[in-house]
Amino acid sequence: MRIAHFSDLHYADETLVEVDRCFTHAVDHAIAAQVDVAIITGDTTDHALSAHSPAVFALARQIQRLANHCPVLMLQGTYSHEPPGFLSLFPLIRGKHPIWVADHIQQVALTEGGNWIASASWQFETMPRATRLMCTCIPTQNRAALATSVGAPDVAGAMGNQVTQVLAGYAQGHLAARQAGIPVALLSHGTVHGCVTEHGVPMAGSDHEFTTGALFDAEATAVMLGHIHRHQSWTQNGRRIAYAGSIGRLHYGEDGDKGALIWDVDANTAGTALHPTPARRTLDISFDGPPDLDKLTQFVAAHVIEGAWVRVRWQVLEEERASVDRARIEGLLAGASGVKLEGRIIPVVRARAAGIARELSLPRQIAHWAEVTGVDGSDLLACFEQLREENPDMIAQRILQQSALPVPADIAAAPRSQSVSPGTIEPLPLLL
Name the amino acid, one letter, at 385: E
Query: Does 339 have pLDDT greater than 90?
Result: yes
Query: Does 48 have pLDDT greater than 50?
Result: yes
DSSP 33: T
Q: Which residue has the higher pLDDT, 376 or 327?
A: 327
Query: Does 431 have pLDDT greater than 50?
Result: no
Task: Determine how β-strand 72-75 pairs with β-strand 259-265.
Answer: unpaired
Nearest alpha-carbon partner for 159 in 133, 185, 132, 190:
190
Nearest alpha-carbon partner for 45 in 8, 17, 93:
8
Question: What is residue 100's predicted lDDT score, i.e. its pLDDT?
Answer: 98
Buried b (16+ CB within 10 A) or exposed e, 17-53: ebbbbbbbbbbebbbeeebbbbbbbbbbbbeebeeeb
Name the amino acid, one letter, at 18: E
Query: Does 430 have pLDDT greater than 80?
Result: no
Question: What is residue 429's predicted lDDT score, i.e. its pLDDT?
Answer: 43
CATH number for the region 2-276 comes to 3.60.21.10
In the chain, the percentage of residues whose pLDDT exceeds 70 is 87
Question: What is residue 375's predicted lDDT score, i.e. its pLDDT?
Answer: 81
Question: What is residue 421's predicted lDDT score, i.e. its pLDDT?
Answer: 42
Quick check: 124 and 61 in contact, CB under 8 A? no
Query: Does 410 have pLDDT greater than 60?
Result: no
103-117, 276-290, 357-371: least confident range: 357-371
Alpha-carbon distance of 36 to 305, in angstroms, equals 40
Name, in order, each residue with C-beta under 8 angstroms of 165's C-beta and a sequence gap of 6 or more. Answer: none
Boundaries of every domain in the chain: 2-276, 282-346
Q: Which residue has the higher pLDDT, 79 or 371?
A: 79
pTM for the full model? 0.78
Q: Which residue has the higher pLDDT, 119 or 371?
A: 119
* Arithmetic mean of pLDDT, 153-178: 86
Question: What is residue 412's predicted lDDT score, i.e. its pLDDT?
Answer: 55
Task: Summarize pLDDT for 313-326 with one digit per residue, the tens.
Answer: 999 988 888 889 99
Quick check: 330 and 363 in contact, CB under 8 A? no
Alpha-carbon distance of 298 to 331, in angstroms, equals 14
Query: Does 425 have pLDDT greater than 50?
Result: no
Torsion on CA atoms 327, 328, 329, 331, rounded to nearest 10: 90
